[in-house]
Amino acid sequence: MIIFPDIEIQDGKCVNLIRGRMDAPRIYDLTPLEAAKQCIDAGAEWLHVVDLDAVASKEDSNYKLVEKIIQFASDKAHVQVAGGIQQLKNVDYWINQGAARVVMGRAAVTNPTLVTEAATKYPGQIVVSIDARNGKVVIDGWKRATAFEPLALAKLYERAGVAAIIYTDIDHEDESPDASFSQTTEIAEALDISVISSGLVKTLDDISTLKYLRGISGAITGRALFGGVFTIEEALEVAAQQTTYAPLQ
């Protein structure tokens, strides 16, 4: 299973959003580039880099900083770029800059034709991000619920040929008392493409649990990693352990 260190950038700083709130980020005491170097030097093969200012449609986004991360990673690791990618020219830009994958979230709900066009143009390089709360897909920083059910939306893009689905279980992220791994499990078992879990990793035990879920190819982690709950080395070690699946009944 792949560990994707989650490097979220706001105003040039390495941050993490609590419950999706842009106005009250947790700010870490290292720059985004330092975070990238730290993870890659420790053995990370992928980075998940999010430009939060681009999500908020700010004119002064963090493009140059993301470019530096891609340049540093170069022949060392792959970079998966996310944040405000809602036009084909945005996809073209990041692929041309050297991004291994481009993540499309809001556009997957508002402009499915665009996502399908991008997946056709760049096979194996487009990832769809689905955020879900109370059984419905939400967009616009988790503020607006849609009529889409997560699995139905994921199935749509599986047929469109995207490389993977990032599934964020907001109920678990919000520490709802009824939250479990069940929603992510359902999505992963129902799809024939890779599913990357987001919002579930709070401890090393969570990484170990995700390894035993069929269809989970990776896990995005930021708050626990940069908050000191575990190190990237520890996360990679757990993720690399051999897994034996029980036979289906």
Give the SS3 label for residue 23. coil
Q: Is residue 233 situated within a structural domain?
A: yes
Q: Which of 51-65, 98-112, 233-247 has the highest mean pLDDT?
A: 98-112
Q: Is residue 245, in this structure, part of any structural domain at all?
A: no
Provide the pLDDT confidence category of residue 91 given band limits of 50, 70 and 90. very high
* Domain residue limits at 201: 2-240
CA distance 126 to 100: 9
Give a yes or no: residue 63 inside a domain: yes
Altogether, the residues listed in the chain come to a count of 249
Which residues are known catalytic residues? 8, 131
123-155 pLDDT, tens per residue?
Answer: 999 999 999 988 999 998 788 899 999 999 999
Half-sphere exposure of 3 (CA within 13 A, CB side): 28
Write the pLDDT tens digit of every residue in 176-221. Answer: 555 568 889 999 999 999 999 998 999 999 999 999 888 999 999 9
Alpha-carbon gap, residue 215 to 132, rounded angstroms: 18
CATH number (domain holding residue 11): 3.20.20.70
How many secondary structure helices (H) and strands (E) does the chain include?
A: 12, 12
Look at residue 132 and tell me if it is in a domain: yes
Phi and psi at 135, nearest 5°, equal: 80, 5
Tokens linked to 135: 């059984």
How many domains does the structure of the chain reveal?
A: 1
Return the pLDDT at 174. Answer: 62
Indicate if the pLDDT at residue 97 is higher than 50: yes
Residue 249 maps to a domain:
no
Asked whether residue 86 is assigned to any structural domain, the reply reads yes
Question: What average pLDDT does the segment 19-45 reach?
Answer: 93
Is residue 248 a part of any domain in this protein?
no
> Quick check: is 247 in a domain?
no
